[in-house]
Structure 1
């Protein structure tokens, strides 16, 4: 399955860059815009699976753009805004938004909410297999050679992140952003959880989670 296409419309440059990086790190194909002036054309050209709209935009606001999206497509929509009044949330849901995330937010939570909407739309891969490892993303069940493996919530998120990028090297900074939502560098945090996950996986078979010196980690079947 190809990566899900996510269109982000956010006027704050720092937020736009951080969200784009987190969603790209989560394996999505992202197009980020500072406003919705070209939204109609972008919807036709980019054909997003999900649109993230900041409500307080220059020119046409997020509620107006939500109506544009709903007239043109059936894609998922997540509203992103500092306006957390109940009336605003009800208006967003009433006009067709799938979720509503208020600022300030943790990047990992936004990534998880995007994944949940994409899952409901059938745009995620529910079962991932790497060698004899089978991960059911929806249920969180992990099996190796038919044997269930118990993982912590963080280990499951880490394995899911790596499994969706099987055979691709993932750096520590990318893992921190995609799994934990951290912008700061904390290499030891990644190393501790990678070691714990690796021990559990290797208790039931040969190595699948490999270290690529100086670059990061890769989940793949075979030596290396």
Structure 2
């Protein structure tokens, strides 16, 4: 489990950086930057634990996750201009974090002996995207998962892969399969610009055809 734990810290750092970067771009004060970084990194796990009855939530009961997120936010404040230039690296770590937290969330449901596939997938999804959704809502943006990008679907696919493989391989291997599937789909979506179709109003479509 050591490798998974290392990835959890990497994902926590990545999400804290992404939240802090957005806060700085929105010109929030230092407290706002730190709070948004903490929210992005920790909220998904907190929501998951509350939903499955794991009280108090792991992210609050074990302070190392809070401390890592806090340090990542402070580092973002200090080195903002340098970090902002490596947006692809942040996307890479964000994809790792999504994969890790999806795997950890789905596995948390299994460890509490929940066997319903829908619930397992939901816990993986909530853990993977929950912090990012709150981050975007707090700064009055449409959450990334609700836009055209393939983000939530990557998490769903990863959780489904964990469920399908759980009966055939060891629990730790099924975690790695979930992580890999989620990460791969997310990175391919970024590379090839895969987008989910947007529902357009008929009046808008007609207007486009007239203009063309």
Highest relative contact order (Cα 8 Å, sep 6+), 1 or 2? 2
The structure with the largest strand share of the pair is 1
Report which of the two structures shows the higher radius of gyration computed on alpha carbons.
1
What is the TM-score normalised by the length of structure 2? Answer: 0.26
What is the TM-score normalised by the length of structure 1? Answer: 0.25
The structure with the largest helix share of the pair is 2
